[in-house]
Amino acid sequence: MKDAAEILCIGTEILLGNIVNTNSADISRGLAELGINMYHHTVVGDNPERLKEALETAFSRSNIVITTGGLGPTYDDLTKETIAAYFGRKLIQHGPSIQSIKSFFRRIGGEMTENNLKQAMMPEGCMVLENHYGTAPGAILEGDGKIAIMMPGPPREMGPMFREQVLPWLAKRSSQVFRSHCIYFFGIGESALEAQLRKEMEQMTNPTLAPYAKEGEVMLRVTACAPSEAEAEALMEPVIQMLQQRFGDLIYGIDVDNLQTAAVRLLREKGLKAATAESCTGGYVAKRITEIPGSSDVFECGIVSYANSVKNKVLGVREETLKQFGAVSPQTAAEMAEGVRNLSGADIGISLTGIAGPGGGSQEKPVGLVYVGVSSPWHSEVKELRLGRGYDKERELIRWLASSHALSLIMGTARMKP
């Protein structure tokens, strides 16, 4: 029987929206890498009857149920009690867990109340999962072809336990390995990309191609299953090469964290430096670049030139340009990019000027109109963007998309370097 899993997240605070449930996403990604099918996510509050009902429902459709939360010291932490009862097991004291809990409190210099020892009561016959970042151990319990995996709720405790103990345990149950690579696109929409690859996607069985839309981007996940990691990689290699040949510079990276990481890497590979002059984005591009460790190797400066006087006095945009064409114009964007490059001594100057809204637009220059300029000794251009989509509170979306276009233009210009 092929394993199928369900995630059961326990906590009234999740139902009320007091915390964001990131655990399900982290667990799902890990299970996908192992090829374990995932059909349902469930959230249930700290109520014993509803928890029991949710557990029974989960096991009626999956042989693996992974829980997070409800392992703490308080009276409403009932995950272990409910699962132990489902398997017909009793809770017994686990000596090593008692010592770990006491050691934790000695380490932080806190007082351990008696109720903390409740966390050391474990289902009889379970495999105990150590918690290196908190007091509540986890557990794996098997019986009648079913598996319950219990982990604590706080992500900083659950994450390491899942990656370091649960995933290796699950991997040993399978004779196959699953590997994936993520290919990131900018400058093409999900529907357009899917239309161009529909035939291949329909015919592929191993490896497979699956598209995922991000904000202004698309990610394609290539996944292969094989007896070994090397064989899985060999299956994926021709597909990745096909995508690179077909889509070229629309691919900004493979298995890369984000667009700014890809831009910084490319600038470093090319030995180039960039500088930014931003109006409507208010330093968004500079912020995204400087989020990346080591970006000082490739980034000279960022100037937020909101006022026309700053565009003129600092960046050297001509008064005639501003008067004749306005701050939001391709002419101003071109002079901003050239100005910041000359001022900083960078190889590439990038500029943004536009109308982020919600006000300030007109029929001629609507909200969402942005000009992105680039200046370098080997290539200069200005791109006009129409990013307004009629959303309420779309200002941040416009700023984010404009900054992404700027990063993409930096990469495109760097690739052209003779």
| pLDDT over 90 (residue 363) | no
393 — pLDDT class (breaks 50, 70, 90): low
Average pLDDT over residues 93-122: 90
CATH number of the domain within which 329 lies: 3.90.950.20
184 — pLDDT class (breaks 50, 70, 90): very high
| pLDDT over 90 (residue 215) | no
Question: Which of 98-112, 149-163, 178-192, 194-208 has the least mean pLDDT?
Answer: 98-112
Task: Give residue 213's domain range.
Answer: 177-254
Are residues 322 and 200 part of one domain?
no
CATH number of the domain within which 228 lies: 3.30.70.2860
4 — pLDDT class (breaks 50, 70, 90): very high
Are residues 245 and 352 part of one domain?
no
Are residues 268 and 130 part of one domain?
no
Q: How high is the pLDDT of residue 120?
A: 94
| pLDDT over 90 (residue 37) | no
Are residues 376 and 270 part of one domain?
yes
343 — pLDDT class (breaks 50, 70, 90): very high
Are residues 218 and 149 part of one domain?
no
| pLDDT over 70 (residue 397) | yes
Are residues 74 and 102 part of one domain?
yes
Are residues 32 and 131 part of one domain?
yes
Q: How high is the pLDDT of residue 246?
A: 95
- Nearest alpha-carbon partner for 137 in 118, 111, 163: 118
| pLDDT over 80 (residue 175) | no
Q: What percentage of the chain carries pLDDT values higher than 90?
A: 81
**End residue of a domain, out of 137, 171, 205:** 171
**End residue of a domain, out of 206, 226, 254:** 254
| pLDDT over 90 (residue 3) | no
| pLDDT over 90 (residue 182) | yes
Mean pLDDT, the chain, integer: 94
Q: How high is the pLDDT of residue 391?
A: 61
Q: How high is the pLDDT of residue 212?
A: 86
Q: pLDDT by residue (tens digit) across 249-278?
A: 999 999 998 999 999 999 999 999 999 999
Q: pLDDT by residue (tens digit) across 55-76?
A: 999 999 999 999 999 999 988 8
**End residue of a domain, out of 254, 286, 304:** 254
Q: Number of folded domains in the chain? A: 3
Are residues 201 and 273 part of one domain?
no
Are residues 101 and 195 part of one domain?
no
Q: What are the C-alpha distances in Å from 35 to residues 6, 70, 379?
A: 14, 27, 46
Average pLDDT over residues 96-106: 91
Are residues 245 and 97 part of one domain?
no
390 — pLDDT class (breaks 50, 70, 90): low
| pLDDT over 60 (residue 19) | yes
Question: Which of 109-113, 285-289, 355-359, 390-394 has the least mean pLDDT?
Answer: 390-394
Looking at mean pLDDT, say which of 19-33, 34-48, 373-387 comes out highest. 373-387
Are residues 211 and 166 part of one domain?
no
CATH number of the domain within which 38 lies: 3.40.980.10
Are residues 93 and 240 part of one domain?
no
Residues composing the chain? 418
Higher pLDDT, 175 or 236: 236
Q: How high is the pLDDT of residue 34?
A: 84
Q: How high is the pLDDT of residue 265?
A: 97
Q: How high is the pLDDT of residue 171?
A: 87
| pLDDT over 60 (residue 392) | no
